[in-house]
Amino acid sequence: MPTETGTVIAIHGPIISSSDVDAHIALFAAFGLEEVARADRSIAETSAIWGTDGQASREVTLQTPGTAFGVRLIQFTPGSDVQIRHPERGSDSEALKVIDFYAPDLPAALAEIEGKGFRFKDDIADYETPEGRYQEAHLWGPDGVVCALISGDPALFTDLATIRDRLVSEPQSISGPVQDPGPILAFLEHVFGLSVIHRYGLDDESFQALVGTSTAMTLRAFNVGTAKSEPYFGIIDYGMPAGSQTSVFATARPPARGLLGATVRVRDAAAVAIRAGVTPIRAFIPGFGETLTVTVQGPNGAWYQAVEG
């Protein structure tokens, strides 16, 4: 269960801007999540929270049973023609990209999820790190939301996931590529008091194929959160040559569709708001109740919604 450290109680999980919440509910049901609450918002309420113009919204909160972690879906109405990410541009930066899940038995998880109508990329990365060897498969779901299954020696995951005895774990991490990790690392420390809990590097052709780029990569990654065994943020620098990546920061904003941001449970949302330079509001958040909340976009394009309590 969540570990209370500093400002942040826990990272709940990703927030998705969905063109069809039922499609995403079906996708995440295949990954073991269940709906726990939903709510409809007026145009005024939606605008106050997300800064949108003329959109109402429906919110659905999903959860991995037995944990306090999950996924939140936001369907804006009217919706947007803009999709944040596309499979043919896998190296685009300054927006979130991947929701990671641990799969103890990768072939079994692939077969089960694909049996429910979802297709993983044929490319499966198989790479070595100083900690050990991993396998990784990617599924491009509705609205360009990427779900990854990561597997390897079970001993590697004793402190990398809370749920380790099911088909897949809770959402293990929420990650995205940036061209410069410095600003987002500083933002997460200043606004939320979060620091790097793990870092690693990777230079592997199979991972390059999984990302979907022919440009050489020398990846370095920084995992930021409260504990390695709970959901964390992956700040990924692909190490590609200058000018070879496209920033989608300007389009990664509501109501654009895709992996929009993440929910962060905090003790004092007003303090977070002061550090972020924004105004907190009171709102009903499905699964969290009536609470003080703060929404702010980070330098990596992700929208972080702090929820008090």
**Domains of the chain: residue spans and CATH:** 8-83+250-308 (3.10.180.10), 87-237 (3.10.180.10)
Which phi and psi (to 5°) does residue 107 adopt?
A: -60, -40
Of 75, 64, 66, nearest in space to 23 by CA: 75
Specify the DSSP class assigned to residue 257. B
Dig out the tokens for 214 from the structure: 């022919």
Which phi and psi (to 5°) does residue 89 adopt?
A: -130, 60
Dig out the tokens for 178 from the structure: 């940036």
To 10 degrees, the CA torsion angle through 64, 69, 73, 74? 160
Angle of CA points 23, 27, 33, to nearest 5°: 120
H or E element, residue 230: none
122: phi > 0 → left, psi -120 to 50 → alpha, else beta; which?
A: alpha
Q: From first to last of its 309 residues, what are the pLDDT tens digits of the chain? A: 444 446 999 999 999 999 999 999 999 999 999 999 999 999 999 999 999 999 999 999 999 999 999 999 999 999 999 999 999 998 999 999 999 999 999 999 999 999 999 999 998 999 888 888 999 999 999 999 999 999 999 998 998 899 999 999 999 999 999 999 999 999 999 999 999 999 888 766 666 667 767 677 788 999 999 999 999 999 999 988 888 899 999 999 999 999 999 999 999 999 999 999 999 999 999 999 999 999 999 999 999 999 998
Angle of CA points 34, 266, 103, to nearest 5°: 40
The alpha carbon of 218 is separated from its chain's Cα centroid by a whole number of angstroms, namely 22
* Distance, CA of 157 to CA of 150 (rounded, Å): 10
